[in-house]
Amino acid sequence: MKLSVIIVNYNVKYFIEQCLHSVIKAIKDIDAEVFVVDNNSVDGSCSMIKDKFPKVTLVENKRNEGFAKANNIAIKESKGQYILLLNPDTVVQEDTFIKCISFMEEHPDAGALGVKMINGKGNFLPESKRALPTPSVAFYKISGLSFLFPRSRIFGRYHLGNLDKEQNHEVEILSGAFMFIRRETIDKTGLLDENFFMYGEDIDLSYRIINAGYKNYYFAGTTIIHYKGESTKKGSLNYVIVFYDAMLRFAQKHFSKSNLWFFSFIIRLAIYLRASVAIMRRFIKQIYMPIVDGSLIYGGYLFLKPWWESIKFEGGGKYPTAFIHWIVPSYIIIWLLCLIFTGAYDKPVKIGKIIKGIGIGTLLILSVYALLPLSFRFSRILIILGAFWSIVSISGLRYFMHILNIKSFKLGDIQKKRLVIVGNSEEVYRVKQLLIETQTNPEIIGFISNKQLSAPDYLGNLAQLEDIISIYKVEEIIFCAKDITSQDIIDHMLNLSYIDIEYKIAPPESLSIIGSNSINTSGDLYLINLNTINKPANRREKRLFDLIISLVMLAIIPILLFIVKNRWKAIVNIFKVLLGSNTWIGYYLHQGIKTDELPQVKKGILSPVDGLEKKNVPEELKERLNYMYAKNYQFTNDLNILLRGLSEIGR
| Exposed/middle/buried for residue 187 (C-beta within 10 Å: 0-12, 13-18, 19+) | exposed
Between CA 470 and CA 466 the distance in angstroms is 6
pTM: 0.70
**Cα(449)–Cα(480) distance, rounded to whole angstroms?**
10
Domain end among 412, 443, 466: 412
Closest by CA to 112, choosing from 29, 203, 26, is: 203
Specify if 146 maps to a domain: no
pLDDT at 414: 55
Residue 231 pLDDT more than 60? Answer: no
Q: Are residues 192 and 290 in the same domain?
A: no
Least confident of 238-242, 511-515, 595-599: 238-242
* Residues 380 and 431 placed together within one structural domain of the fold: no
For 476, phi then psi, to 5°, come to -150, 140
Tell me the sheet residues that pair with 38: 9, 60
Same-domain check for residues 59 and 207: yes
Say what the pLDDT of residue 452 is: 67
Three-state secondary structure string covering 350-365: CHHHHHHHHHHHHHHH
User: Which domain-ending residue is among 528, 550, 583?
Assistant: 528
Domain that holds residue 270: 233-412
Judge if 492 and 540 occupy the same domain.
no
- Which is more confidently placed, 141 or 5? 5
CATH number for 437: 3.40.50.720
- Do residues 401 and 506 share a domain? no
Q: Is residue 256 part of a domain?
A: yes
For residue 435, tell me if it sits in a domain.
yes
Output the pLDDT for position 617. 67
Say if 47 falls within a structural domain: yes
Examine the domain organization and report whether 226 and 271 are in the same domain. no
Per-residue pLDDT, 362:
93
**CA geometry: angle 373, 378, 381, nearest 5 deg:** 130
Alpha carbon distances (Å) from 340 to 297, 345, 564:
16, 6, 34
Q: How far apart are CA 610 and CA 605, in angstroms?
A: 10
* Residue 79: band (very low, low, confident or very high) from pLDDT cuts 50, 70, 90: very high
Residues 44 and 33 occupy one common structural domain: yes
> Which of 22-26, 46-50, 379-383, 620-624 shows the highest mean pLDDT?
22-26
Give the C-alpha separation, 552 to 639, whole Å: 13
Q: Is residue 149 part of a domain?
A: no
Question: Is cis: bond before 329, omega within 30 of 0?
Answer: no
- Report whether pLDDT(541) > 50: yes
Q: Which pLDDT score is estimated for 528?
A: 44
Residues 491 and 636 occupy one common structural domain: no
In terms of domains, do 255 and 397 share one?
Answer: yes
Residue 137 has a pLDDT of 78
Task: Output the domain CATH number for residue 114.
Answer: 3.90.550.10
Q: What are phi and psi of 68, to 5 degrees?
A: -65, -50
pLDDT at position 233 over 50: no
Q: 88-107 as b/e, with b when 16 or more CB fall inside 10 Å?
A: bbbbbbbbbbbebbebbeeb
Q: What is the pLDDT of residues 85-114, one digit of tens each?
A: 999 989 999 999 999 999 999 999 999 999
CA distance to 4, 135, 199, 210, 253, per residue, from 132 (Å): 27, 9, 14, 11, 14
484 and 545 fall within a common domain: no
Q: Is residue 354 part of a domain?
A: yes
Q: Are residues 41 and 117 in the same domain?
A: yes
pLDDT tens across 611-622, in order? 776 656 676 677
Residue 324 forms part of a structural domain: yes
Question: Does residue 232 carry a pLDDT above 50?
Answer: no
E strand map for 184-318: 215-226
What are the φ and ψ backbone dihedral angles of 181, each rounded to 5 degrees? -120, 140
Q: Which residues of 572-597 are buried (b: 16+ CB within 10 A; e: fewer)?
A: ebbebbbeeebbbbbbbeeeeeebeb
Best mean pLDDT range from 54-58, 267-271, 278-282: 54-58
Q: Determine the straight-line distance between the first and last CA of the chain, rounded to whole angstroms.
A: 56
Q: Are 516 and 523 in contact (CB under 8 A)?
A: yes
**Same domain, residue pair 221 and 251:** no
Cβ-contact 54, 68 below 8 angstroms? no
Q: What total number of domains does the chain contain? A: 4
Tell me which of 332 and 148 has the higher pLDDT. Answer: 332
Average pLDDT over residues 402-420: 75
Q: What angle do CA 407, 411, 416 make, to 5 degrees?
A: 75
381 inside domain: yes
Gyration radius of the chain over CA positions? 29
